[in-house]
Amino acid sequence: MPMLSLKCTKTIPEALRKELSAAVAEGIGKPEQYVMVVAEEAGMTMSGEPGDAAYGEVRSIGGLERTVNRELTKRICSLLSDRLGIPSDRIYITFTSFPADHWGWNKSTFG
């Protein structure tokens, strides 16, 4: 049920989506079989300037807290910077934790 939704000025290849999936699972401590990574190419302006940038949303049922969020931010930014050349200071990431009964899957909810 953890999900990373990314909007980025560059196409995110399958290999990078797999790396991001593993990073999210490991970072939150959830089985990767439940992780989803959604990536969309988008035009972006940041700091009033066009150029390479990315915005990510990490959502999960629990597992998110200050230390986890900081480490995940570091890992996601590093992967996007190293693989796509997007400067870390042009990447925003937000985190949202949901109650189990607010997340549907497989004809039901997790709670």
Beta strands in the chain (DSSP E): 3-8, 36-41, 45-46, 49-50, 54-60, 91-97, 104-105, 108-109
Contact indicator for 57, 4 with CB cutoff of 8 Å: yes
Active site residues: 2
Q: CA 28, CA 69: separation in Å to the nearest integer? A: 9
Structure token pair of residue 9: 């000025």
Predicted confidence (pLDDT) per residue in 86-96, tens digit: 999 999 999 99
Query: Mean pLDDT for each consecutive 10-residue tract of the chain (111 residues)?
Result: 96 97 97 96 96 98 96 98 97 96 92 89
Q: What local confidence, expressed as pLDDT, does residue 78 receive? A: 98
Spatial distance between the Cα atoms of 56 and 92, rounded to a whole number of angstroms: 6
Q: Find all residues with CB under 8 Å of 82, minimum gap 6, and list them.
A: none
Q: What is the pLDDT of residues 11-25, one digit of tens each?
A: 999 999 999 999 999
Q: What's the pLDDT at 44?
A: 97
Question: Which superfamily does 3-109 belong to?
Answer: Macrophage Migration Inhibitory Factor (3.30.429.10)
